[in-house]
Every structure is written in C-alpha cells, then in structure tokens.
Amino acid sequence: MYLFAFPLLLVPFALYNIVAFILNLPFTDTVSTIPLMSNGALPVTTGDLLLVVAMLLLYVEFIKAARFGTRAAMDHVLSFLLFIAMVCELMLVPRAATSTLLLLAVLSFVDVITGISISVRRKQPEIVLEGSDRARM
C-alpha cells in the first residue's frame, strides 16, 4: 500500500545505469532474434528490451494515476524528479548520452504530463443539486 507513490520508471532507469556503468555493456548487443514470416529476422537489443520494460511499466503508471487519488501529488512530484534526473544524466554524463536514455526520458516526460493532466481533469468542481429548493404549496 505504501509503494503507490513509487515511480515505476525508476526500475528501467536503474537497470540502464547498471548496464551502462557497472556491467559496461553496450545497448546495441543483440540479445535474441525474432523470426519473421518474410524469412527475415528481427534483432532484439539490450536497449530494446529495456524500453519494452519501461513501456509496460508506463502502462501501470497510467493506471495508478487514474485510480489512486490520495497519493497522487507525491507520485507526480517523484515522477517529475525522476524525469529531471534522467535529463540531467543525459545532458551531463557523456557516457550516458545514448538513444536508449533519451527514449526513457521521453517516456518519463509522458508519465509526468499524463499524471498532471489526469489529476487536473479529475478535480473539476462538482455541482450538487438538492431537492430542498422545491416550491411549497
């Protein structure tokens, strides 16, 4: 119950940093290939797998933003801080300047904007009409 305000896109960002800095692996290494009906093969790289995980977690973030209202403010703040951290690492660390991190930052931006727009739309004023205004005879 306490992890609702946890930004799930932190997981692929942490995996990115582990692969890039600790394991020192390039994101262009082919992990596997998917055979196609056109007798070709689609190579799947490390960066592709990381982006697929991030997209699936982004879907869960959308569900969290639409469902849980009490912890939404903290979730938006943490998602925004994660977006800022991704952009800062992309701009300031030369070794992290890859298209994989750029696309992770774009997904994080989509998470921030979607969370804000869902919460703003949800807080529209409600008009309650009561039956006490009826004319008495």
Q: What span, in angstroms and rounded, lies between the C-alpha atoms of 62 and 76?
A: 11
CA-based nearest residue to 7, from 46, 50, 60: 60
- pLDDT of 128 > 50? The answer is yes
Q: What is the pLDDT of residue 120?
A: 72
- In 3D, which of 21, 22, 14, 25 has the Cα closest to residue 53? 14
Mean pLDDT over each residue of the chain, to the nearest integer: 86
Find where tokens 């306490």 sit. 2
Residue ranges per structural domain of the chain: 2-133
Given a contact cutoff of 8 angstroms between Cβ atoms, the answer to whether 95 and 20 are in contact is yes
Ranking 46-55, 58-67, 114-123 by mean pLDDT, the lowest is 114-123
Q: What is the pLDDT of residues 27-42, one digit of tens each?
A: 999 999 999 999 999 9
Q: What is the SS3 assignment for 113?
A: helix
What is the distance between the alpha carbons of residues 137 and 135, in angstroms, rounded to a whole number? 7
Q: What is the pLDDT of residue 1?
A: 44
- Identify the DSSP state of 40: -
CB 34 within 8 A of CB 42: yes
pLDDT score of 52 more than 80: yes
Query: pLDDT grade, residue 86 (50/70/90)?
Result: very high
Q: What is the C-alpha to C-alpha distance for residues 70 and 78, in angstroms, rounded to an integer?
A: 15
pLDDT at 115: 85
Tell me the pTM: 0.81
Tally: H helices and E strands in the chain = 4, 2
Q: Which residue has the higher pLDDT, 110 or 116?
A: 110
Q: What single-letter DSSP state applies at residue 23? A: S
User: Token pair 């205004």 is at which residue?
Assistant: 133
